[in-house]
Amino acid sequence: MNMLDRYGRREIWRIIVIFFLFYLMHGELRAQDPQFSQFYANPLYLAPSFAGLTDGSRIGANYRNQWPQLPGKFVTYTFSYDHWFDHYNSGAGILFMQDMAGSGNLRTTNVGVQYSYDFSIHPDWHMRPGVHFFYTERAIDFDKLIFGDQISPGGDRPTTIEIPPLQRRGGVDFSTSAMVYSQDYWFGLAVDHLLRPNHSLYEFDGPDAENAYIPIKYSVFGGTKFTRGGRVRTRLEESLQLAFLYRQQGPFNQLDLGMYWYRSPIVVGAWYRGLPGISSGGQDAVIFLVGYKIDQLNIGYSFDFPISRLLGSTGGAHEISITYSWTSIRIPRKPRMVPCPEF
């Protein structure tokens, strides 16, 4: 009886995941930040320039379940709140993020505050810089991991020879961004992890110490919006939005290209992630989105259909977003018309 018959495919995948988490604990893979397919439904996570990008207050929740067919769980969720202070042309926000990976609950938690400022650079264009200060922590439940030397035909689990890591490690980090926009276009740049905190659960010395620090992430995004009937807003608005997002972090880089079609109250969208020869990391996917907008409430669902080597073995990724915005006082001026999507 071969190993595949004895333990089954699921057990083989479990071992692969354990080794993957083990390298992540060391920091040797220089892993990417968690990503969301509905990044415009999670604007504060994309860039602090989006803080307060309403005419009042906004609260949002996002949930992503990646690779549901693999053992353990690969789940990321965020909660955010932001508000626009009209008298100061400023926005402020709070962002909480937690990412959990595998059966050992390897998790990264971020809690931070954001600030943005909006000003005119041309009669048709505005600029919006932003900053994000946050505390980040990585932790793991080492006792829940099962290594190769703990697997035996009898089913018992002897003590592993692997050296237990730190239970948790935390540090302060900083991000910044800038965005320019008009009624028809928007472009932005975000730079994350400028302080590069140590995220390894093991201690490193010598040349390997560099691998323990989070690499800086660069994000470039933008797009355009076409509204049926021009800029005249009607009760049943219909529009088409084309957008892109490029991310680079350490050895990883990725380009997302997509479009949204909106006819009140329904939004549908499609994205392609990972142009051949440009992206890396096996994240190639086609993403489908459907959203519902009614009054101040937005609800979205998307599915990542992998087209890389992971096809058929991971289950893709499911993502849900909920956003609610409100205005307590009617602002007697023309609102800022930022044309970027809401999903």
Domains of the chain, by residue range, sit at 3-326
Position 12 scores a pLDDT of 45
Closest CA relative to residue 109, chosen from 141, 78, 136:
136
Contact 105, 77 (CB under 8 A): no
Position 145 scores a pLDDT of 61
Position 63 scores a pLDDT of 98
Radius of gyration of the chain (CA): 22
- Label residue 114 exposed, middle or buried (CB < 10 Å: 0-12, 13-18, 19+): buried
Position 160 scores a pLDDT of 53
Closest CA relative to residue 258, chosen from 244, 246, 247, 268:
244
- Residues 6+ away with beta carbon under 8 Å from 123: none
Contact 219, 189 (CB under 8 A): yes
Position 115 scores a pLDDT of 98
Contact 134, 170 (CB under 8 A): no
Sign of CA dihedral 223, 224, 225, 231: positive
Position 307 scores a pLDDT of 83
Closest CA relative to residue 55, chosen from 255, 260, 254, 337:
337
How open is the CA angle 117-42-121, to the nearest 5 degrees?
25
Contact 274, 283 (CB under 8 A): yes
Position 26 scores a pLDDT of 46
Written as tens digits, the pLDDT of the chain (343 aa) is 444 444 455 544 454 454 444 444 444 444 579 999 999 999 999 999 999 998 899 999 999 998 887 777 789 999 999 999 999 999 999 999 999 987 667 889 999 999 999 999 998 999 999 999 999 998 877 666 655 545 555 555 555 545 556 678 899 999 999 999 999 999 999 999 999 998 877 776 666 666 788 999 999 999 999 988 655 555 578 999 999 999 999 888 889 999 999 998 999 999 999 866 655 555 688 999 999 998 899 999 999 998 876 556 677 899 999 999 998 765 555 556 688 888 8
Task: Extract the tokens encoding 297.
Answer: 């409430």
d(CA 96, CA 239): 32
Which residue pairs from 110-114 have beta carbons closer than 8 angstroms and sit at least 24 positions apart in sequence? Answer: 110/134, 110/135, 110/136, 110/137, 110/173, 111/135, 112/173, 114/44, 114/48, 114/51, 114/82
Which CATH number applies to 3-326: 2.40.160.40, 3.40.50.300, 3.50.50.60, 1.20.1250.20?
2.40.160.40
